[in-house]
Chains A and B, each alone.
Chain A
Amino acid sequence: MSRGAAHCRSDTKPWTAALVLLAWVLCASCNVHVRVGQRPNPDVLETSLRIGESTHDDVRAALGNPDGTGREMLPIGDKPREVWSYYYEEGDLHDDRRIFLFVFFDQDRYDGYMWFSSLPQ
């Protein structure tokens, strides 16, 4: 190897090493784990709660405070109802899964639900 080429390598070595180190640090920190909200337990919808009997407070005690509130008037219904929504998500850069849970109220009474989840059971 010529003397000039050896000089050239010694000049760029620190920068190359720095770049490799930076790339390694970035790759190591790339796999970010994400969690959003509190995971609701849909089992309580049929075990702890009673349709037509349970109240807002009962639902709050069983599932916690909702992440959102709203109203619905679906084609299968005959009047608007209040909706409480729950959402939880967890994942990383390789996979991400979630659960949506909706609770329907007729006045102050628990009147139905819908949930769907891609989370592992």
Chain B
Amino acid sequence: MKTQTSSPLTEATFFILLSLSPSAKHGYAIMKEVKALSKGRIVFSTGTLYGALRRLLEQGWIKRVSDPEPNPTDRERKAYAITERGRRIVNAETERLKSLLTTAQHQIPEGPS
């Protein structure tokens, strides 16, 4: 069973973890949040989302919790929250991306060429 190494993360994994950073969310809310965070670039199909969630669950980067926004008319939905380990991973990835950006900004001269 292959497990994704902590760094670098795939864009989809990074955005899922990022979407869960502020609060726990259920599947549809994650889909909407990722779409918004990626400015419409990443739109998950349900199958792709749950494939990714399954791996994140097994890696222990996210966990199942009760829905923070339960719908009284609907049956209880499962929600997902980022774990401490997942948070460390997303922070490390953010630092890595920052470092890359800083290096790139130093290397590429600003202004018209």
The answer to whether A and B assemble together is no
